[in-house]
Chain A
Amino acid sequence: NAGVTQTPKFRVLKTGQSMTLLCAQDMNHEYMYWYRQDPGMGLRLIHYSVGEGTTAKGEVPDGYNVSRLKKQNFLLGLESAAPSQTSVYFCASSYRYGDEQFFGPGTRLTVL
């Protein structure tokens, strides 16, 4: 099993450009999450999904959109990137609430 994978691992964008981060899991988990990690801030939840076709806002959703068209995939989109979105992005999945989250390796995004 690959667990949770994230694509790409690194990306540099210019202000105003758009991009999509892909998260895939092969554990048949219902719940999937997108976080951003900034120095001294821990992990902050951007959006999450409790099943295929569902999405919900987390703590810091502004400037991001998500889609969960297939159970195994959770996409995070930046429509118009800003320097404040420079961060490391982690995807995670779990079978249900209260269960262990399995994390991907992260995507390091720099917005110039």
Chain B
Amino acid sequence: AQSVTQPDIHITVSEGASLELRCNYSYGATPYLFWYVQSPGQGLQLLLKYFSGDTLVQGIKGFEAEFKRSQSSFNLRKPSVHWSDAAEYFCAVDGPSGGSYIPTFGRGTSLIVHP
């Protein structure tokens, strides 16, 4: 069964510092890979996705993610964090499972931004 691991439950950074959120997946082939963001009390919003092509993917709000097949990783990065980036971040995969494509989400990483 496919699985998604986000090893960091919480990450605290200072405003203006760089950010990297980690995501590892377990799956035989390369699935569709996503990062979503959830602000408090809201639904999820897509930041970026990857399936094929350039392994460095650009998203909204200045985020980017790099796919590394050898490490089964899809880490999210931002060079300079803004206070408004404080939110919950979810990595997700969408891949074949039992004849259908089923999405699987990681447990999320909560980003705290200090002024």
Contacts and interface: CB of A to CB of B under 8 A. Distances in A.
A104 B43 contact: yes
B105 A42 contact: yes
Interface of chain B: mostly helix, strand, loop or mixed? strand
A42 B46 contact: no
A53 to B, nearest CB: 15
A33 B103 contact: yes
Given A103-B44, A104-B43, A105-B43, A42 B90 contact: yes
A41 B105 CA distance: 9
Nearest to B94: A98
Given A98-B51, A98-B94, A40 B107 contact: yes
Contact of B44 (A41, A48, A50, A101): A101
Contacts of B102: 45, 48, 58
Q: How many B residues touch the partner, as a band?
A: 20 to 34
Contacts of A41: 107
Contacts of A92: 43-44
A25 to B, nearest CB: 12
Nearest to A103: B43
B90 A101 contact: no
A42 B106 contact: yes
A90 B103 contact: no
Interface of B: 6, 9, 32, 34, 36, 41-46, 49, 51, 90, 94, 100-108
Given A92-B43, A97-B100, A106-B41, 14 more contacts: A40-B9, A41-B107, A42-B6, A42-B105, A42-B106, A44-B105, A45-B102, A58-B102, A90-B44, A98-B94, A103-B43, A103-B44, A103-B45, A105-B43
Ordered nearest first, which 8 A-B pairs have the shortest CB separation? Answer: A97-B101, A103-B43, A42-B107, A98-B32, A43-B105, A100-B46, A42-B105, A103-B44
